[in-house]
Amino acid sequence: MGRWLIYDDLFAPHKDIDMVYTGADPWKMVNQANSLIRQYFEISGTRWTQKDVRWDVTDVVRTFFTELDFKREEDGFTNLIINVRYQGKQHAETKQGTVRMIIYAQLQTQFEYSNPIVHLAHTIYMNFFYKAHRIAMLRRNEERMNMTLNDLRKAFNLPEKVSR
């Protein structure tokens, strides 16, 4: 059985979005960013995972790292995968610190076929019908991500320019 796998980066031609927040309570920014992503992309509680959480509490300035994956089913063939990594430090008493947020998003489309006729049908379907639908999904999800980032910028007074 054959398979087509198509990966579309949401932030193409750039790989990801990189933002840095410096100020009061960076862990609050992490939690609010995750809530905004879940809200705008309509991701239920079972469709996201916190892959890794690390806290170093041996010093007064506590460093942390966390990585999350969000998954949203767009249609029967395509899933949106959002990977968010946070790396930061926060003072134990004053709660002042900094956090770096790196967001990577990708649409993953998969078609499976069992014989050459089905492969030909998928090729025709992809080139004449599904291509426009994939482009619309990319635009819609890019708009959702822009709304999420704009809300984060307003809430935490982040700079308008985002390094990509």
Domain boundaries, the chain: 2-156
Q: What is the dihedral of CA 18, 150, 41, 44, to 10 degrees?
A: 90
Q: What is the Cα gyration radius of the chain?
A: 19
Q: pLDDT per position in the chain (164 positions), as tens? A: 678 888 989 888 888 888 899 988 899 889 989 999 999 999 888 888 888 888 888 888 999 999 999 999 988 889 999 999 999 999 989 999 999 999 999 999 888 878 888 888 888 888 888 888 888 999 999 899 888 888 888 888 876 655 55
Residues 26 and 61: their CA atoms lie apart, in Å, by: 12
CB 99 within 8 A of CB 88: yes
Helix (H/G/I), strand (E/B), else coil: 78: strand
Q: What is the pTM of this model?
A: 0.85
Backbone angles phi, psi at 42, to 5 degrees: 55, 55
Q: Cβ neighbours of residue 159 under 8 Å, at least 6 residues apart?
A: 153
Place of tokens 């049908």: 121
